[in-house]
Amino acid sequence: MRPLIATRRRRWYVIAVLLFVVVVAVTSHRYFRPAPKIAPAHSHAVASDKSLYLLDSVWTTDRDKTIRLGELRGYYVVMALIFTECNGVCSVMVKELQTFSTSLPRDIKNQTRFVAITIDPDDTGEALLHYRQEMQLDEPQWMLLRSTPAAVRELAAVLGFNYAQTDNRQFSHSNLLTLLNPSGEIIHQQQGAGSDLRELTAAIHKE
C-alpha cells in the first residue's frame, strides 16, 4: 500500500499547519478585541418583593429577540426611556451614557447592562437597530427594547417616569435615569441628560 503523502512531506505539512494556527492565534489576540466575557450571575441577586423582574411583560430587542426583563437578573442595569425620533434631551442622555459606558473599567462594564427602552409604539425593530448604529451603541452591553403601550406605561409607572405623546411621534417626558441592582431593585435614580454619571458608578460601589 502506497501512503497518500510521503512521510517527509507529511511532517512538513503538520509543521506548516501548526505554525499557521499559532500565527492566527497570536494575531487575533493582538489585533482583534476579545469578545467580552459574559459575567456570571451576580452573587447578590436575590428574590425580592421590590424587584422589577416581578413584571411579566414581554419585550423585543432590536434584533427581534423576545425577552423578559428577568433575563437581566444578575447585572447592574442602567435603564433609560427613549424614542428614536427624539431630537432633545433623550439623544443627549444616550450619547452621554454611551461615552460613559466606554469609559467604565472592564470589571464594572462586564457586570452592567445599558437598557434603552422606547416609549414610541411606532418604533420598529428596524428603527431601534438604526438607532443603535446612529448612536454607536455597538457594544454588547447595550440592549434596545420595545413592547406594547401597556407594558411601557407599566414600566414607566414603576420607574416614576412620566410621558405623553404631544405630536405625531413626539413626546413630553421626564429626564430620568434608573439604576437597578442585580436583583432588579431600583437602587439609584438621577437626572438623565446633563448630570454627573459618576453617581452611577458610586452607587454600584456602594452596594
| 174 contacts 93 by C-beta, under 8 angstroms | no
Which residue type is seen at 205? H
Kindly provide the residue ranges of all beta strands, DSSP E only, lying in 147-185, ordered along the sequence.
163-167, 170-173, 176-180
Q: Does 49 engage in binding with other proteins (CB under 8 A)?
A: yes
Task: Spell 20-54 as b/e; 16+ CB within 10 A means b.
Answer: eeeeeeeeeeeeeeeeeeebeebeebeeeeebbbe
- Give min distance, CB of 161 to other proteins, in A: 7
Q: Does 203 engage in binding with other proteins (CB under 8 A)?
A: no
Q: Which member of 25, 26, 126, 160 binds other proteins (CB under 8 A)? A: 160
Q: Which member of 175, 183, 197, 204 binds other proteins (CB under 8 A)? A: 175
- Taking the least distance from each CB to other proteins, the nearer of 95 and 109 is 95
Q: Does 179 engage in binding with other proteins (CB under 8 A)?
A: no
- Give min distance, CB of 143 to other proteins, in A: 21
Q: What angle do CA 124, 65, 72 make, to 5 degrees?
A: 110
Binding-site ranges for other proteins (CB under 8 A): 49-52, 54-55, 83, 86-90, 153-154, 156-158, 160-164, 166-167, 170-176, 189, 191-194
